[in-house]
Structure 1
Amino acid sequence: MHPFLNTAIKAARAAGQVIARSANRVDTLKIQDKQPNDFVTEVDRNAEREIIRVIQRAYPDHGIMAEESGEHDINREFIWVIDPLDGTTNFIHGIPQFAVSIALKQRGRLEQAVVYDPIKEELFVATRGAGAFLNNRRIRVSQHKDLSGTLLGTGIPFREDQDLDYYLRTLKALLPGTAGVRRPGSAALDLAYVACGRLDGFWEIGLNEWDMAAGVLLIQEAGGLVGDLRGGPEYLTTGNVVAAGPKVFKAMLQRLHPVVNREG
């Protein structure tokens, strides 16, 4: 296992312990609004501090891009992209669907990925060129040939700066013929579930880089494809993403094409 990945796993498990210890005392936590309907707790911040502590102890010259504390030395060759608790709204409502997400970029390219569910104790990891794994078992994306009978994951816009009408047009385009659409509430886990075949595809608009960086590499190393809503490579900057096995990915883009073109 790559030393960078070992550090990421150690950091994710340290954060997971912080989260798990607090999961049964949510009613005592301090909760703040970052913006309407977007929450942060002391657990998010404490978990992030644990992650950064582990990383900086091992690699003090690396940069950090973290959801809560922001960017530090991001002109460095290596940048760690951190979401300490993806699914905070689920967490504060006692819904056990949230995860720690950690990715490492080298010169802008994703190289290492960890998504850790501390409640189910599921550890998804990937190293570029070495495959993707769930608790040491190799994982692959599903092999559906089209959208018929597929189960898709998504995230419904909830912030004022997100275009709900546009999203609803994408939903209307993708839903027909599928077995259904799920909105579990943690993009990092949704992407990990695509990587291991629990979901056949996923799309969302308005994500942040830390929401999806680790999940993107998991899917790519599990044999899947990731793109923006046009199929291009700008998903980390636009925040709009489509991910699936190769044939479902193509089918999703074909369905989305008229919607995306309408937007110009």
Structure 2
Amino acid sequence: MSAHLHPMLNVAIKAARAAGAIINRAALDVESVRVAAKQTNDFVTEVDKAAEDIIISTLLEAYPEHGIWAEESGRREGTGAGKRHMWIIDPLDGTTNFIHGFPVYCVSIALMYNGKIEQAVIYDPSRNDLFCATKGRGAYLNDRRIRVAKRTQLRDCLISTGFPFRPGDNFKNYMAMLTEVMPRVSGVRRPGSAALDLAYLAAGFSDGFFETGLSPWDVAAGSLLVTEAGGLVGNFTGEADFLEQKECLAANPRVYGQLVGMLGKYSKFASAGDKAGVRQAQAGAEAEADNAAAEGSAAQPATEAEPKADEAPF
């Protein structure tokens, strides 16, 4: 396949592999810096920065006039002939996993031309998996063409997601969405790297994905992989213009419509009526939980509140 690659995609692959080599080397040292939180943060910032620097220098060496929009170094517009080209880069998506030695993280590079994603690379350095796509030419994992899964029944589907983790994220809203999805599907997974979640969806390893609070560099490359693999991607109400909206929903076409039906009302673009319905449902659920808690505490002597030794404390 490499002989037929678009030259810009070839450069992006070279950049992603170079960043992957830096990340793999750093992964060998991660053990020794897992002492203090400050040391760990400094270390991960350093790895991020080194990976991003090598990506940017590889891209600009080939295309000096192109614009760059990267997680660490921000956004700068292209000039001259490169004015309409913008590389969108996440040098290491899944940093929390990386810090813990949990091998689910990746490099994500996309090229946007005239506001549309045209090239995409997601590279998983711990597995040496390379996902890539050129608009109109399909999506690939290593040298194999990939397609989204064909499952149509929600109850057979594996859905991946990301938990909100920043202070100020709407946990309540998220828990309501999870409560809606979980009982209806075969399983929910939270691998910890949105870019890789989208690549896995494109490869048919999962059937749907939803997450809020994502930045453009988390989803730019993955969104092209999904659409080139025959899937759909948009915001929770199903509109395709999602890149800067901080909510992302992706799935194979049959599952996508069903997820929009379930999650659309939680979108920040939902109608006022839908949002009121969600608030009522949440108030009802809270009242129910409060009642259950009140009944539970009345029925149980206080000493029973401690988990027994063989029970998980959650």
TM-score range, shorter chain: over 0.9
**Any conservation in 2 of the 1:78–1:104 contact (CA below 8 Å)?**
yes
Deviation at 1:258, TM superposition (A): 3.8
Deviations 1:182-230 (A, max 9, x none): 0010000000000000011000001000001000000000000001000
1:49 aligns with 2:53: yes
Displacement of 1:40 after TM fit? 4.4
Partner of 1:263: 275
What TM-score do the two structures reach when normalised by structure 2?
0.80
* 1:235 aligned to which of 228, 231, 242: 242
Counterparts of 1:258 and 1:58 in 2: how far apart (Å)? 45
Q: Deviations over 1:105-153 (max 9, x none)?
A: 0011000000000110000000000000000100000111131111000
Is this contact kept in 2: 1:208–1:239, CA < 8 A? yes
C-alpha contact (below 8 Å) 1:99/1:186 kept by paired residues: yes
How far apart are residue 41 of structure 1 and its match?
2.2
Structure 1: segments with no counterpart, 5+ residues: 34-38
1:36 maps to which residue? none
- What letter matches 1:140 in structure 2? R
Q: Of Structure 1 and Structure 2, which has the larger fraction of its residues in strand?
A: 1
The aligned counterpart of 2:219 is 212
Contact 2:106–2:122 under 8 Å retained in 1: yes
RMSD: 1.5
Show CA shifts across 1:37-69 (max 9, x none): xx9421111000000010000000000000011
Q: How does 1:150-169 map to 2 (within 5 A)?
A: 150-169=157-176
| 3-state SS of paired residue (2:179) | helix
Q: What does 1:76-87 align with in structure 2 at a 5 Å threshold?
A: 76-87=83-94
Q: Which runs of 5+ in 2 are unaligned?
A: 34-38, 277-314
- 2:133 equivalent in structure 1: 126
Encode CA deviations 1:235-254: one digit per residue, 9 max, x unaligned: 21111011000000011111
TM-score (structure 1 length as normaliser) = 0.94
- Larger RCO: 1 or 2 (CA < 8 Å, sep 6+): 1
Q: What secondary structure does 1:133 align onto?
A: strand
**Match of 2:199?**
192
Distance 1:138 1:28 in 2: 39
**What letter corresponds to residue 41 of structure 1 in structure 2?**
T
Higher helix share: 2
Distance 2:224 2:264 in 1: 24
Q: Name 2:304's counterpart in structure 1.
A: none
Per-residue deviation, 1:256:
1.5
- Structure number, greater radius of gyration: 2
Contact between 1:99 and 1:189, CA under 8 Å: does it hold in 2?
yes
Cα distance in structure 2, aligned partners of 1:259 and 1:71: 30
Distance (whole Å) between structure 2 residues aligned to residue 176 and residue 199 of structure 1: 17
Contact 1:152 1:201 (C-alpha < 8 Å) held by counterparts: yes
SS where residue 24 of structure 1 aligns? helix
Q: How many residues align?
A: 259
- Equivalent residues in 2 for 1:19-168, closer than 5 Å: 19-28=23-32, 30-32=39-41, 40-73=44-77, 76-168=83-175
Aligned partners of 1:46, 1:240: CA distance in 2, in Å? 29
**Which deviates more, 193-202 or 19-28?**
19-28
Question: In the TM superposition, what is the alpha-carbon distance from 1:74 to its structure 2 partner?
Answer: 5.5
Confirm or deny: 8 A CA contact 1:65 1:74 kept in the other structure: no
Q: Does 1:201 align with 2:208?
A: yes
Distance 2:171 2:201 in 1: 24
Provide the identity percentage.
52
